[in-house]
Amino acid sequence: MALDMEEQDQEENLKNLWSKYKNIAFIAIGIFLCFYIAATFISNKKNKANELASQLYQEVLMEKIDNLEQIKVKTDLVKKDHINTPYAGRASLHLGQLYAKTGDYDKSIPELSWAGENATELSIQSLAHYALAYMYIAKKDAPKAKLAAEAIATPGYIGLKSDLLGDIALMDGDHEAARSFFNQALDFYKNKSELAQVIQTKLDAIGQ
């Protein structure tokens, strides 16, 4: 009986951790996306073939979250007419994130899936797969979450991928696998980021 109570307390702690840190996924995506766009915006803007797509994408970014219908219209236009530009994948990823923030996972998933499959930039594909995995975690679909996580291919996102796979293992009740993935993520970050602190907290909760 004492062991059962201990296990229940541990599971409750894990649920609390997930509730507290689930937004880290979207914070991480936002940070990586901002840096990535800043690094590529100037060079892409000089390409005349991308100018119209760039303009539409900027309009997508400028729209407020309470105007999702208009954002959807403009995103679909970028995807339809400019699929071979970087902005199609970026716009779809952005819209998917907005749907996720409003709690509409059923609309978020198709946008994130499209970005993961069609974005011309590997980094955008990986960010889309990362966000998609957390949508499936929220829907308690571990197999699909794992497939999305395993599709993350950008070397710089290995830490995020390992942390994500740890969360999925926890959802499956596999604490040994979760511990292994979290330690891999911690090794990647080498305790030099806020994410490392979050990962350490998860490790502490399940016992290192």
- Identify the architecture of domain 2-206 in CATH: Alpha Horseshoe (1.25)
Alpha helices by DSSP H, listed for the chain, are 2-21, 24-45, 51-62, 68-81, 86-101, 105-118, 122-138, 142-150, 158-171, 175-189, 194-206
How much is the pTM? 0.78
Determine the pLDDT at residue 35: 47
Determine the pLDDT at residue 16: 53
Q: What angle do CA 201, 205, 207 make, to 5 degrees?
A: 110
Give Cα separations from 74 to 103, 105, 120, 197 (angstroms).
21, 20, 18, 38
Q: What is the pLDDT along the chain (208 residues), one digit of tens a residue?
A: 444 444 455 555 555 554 554 555 555 555 455 545 544 554 444 465 578 888 899 999 998 888 999 999 999 999 999 999 999 999 999 999 999 999 999 999 999 999 999 999 999 999 999 999 999 999 999 999 999 999 999 998 999 999 999 999 999 999 999 999 999 999 998 867 788 888 999 999 887 6
Determine the pLDDT at residue 114: 98
Under DSSP, is residue 102 helix (H, G, I), strand (E, B) or coil?
coil
Determine the pLDDT at residue 6: 46
Determine the pLDDT at residue 70: 94
* Domain extent listing, the chain: 2-206
The structure tokens listed for 180 are: 């292994």
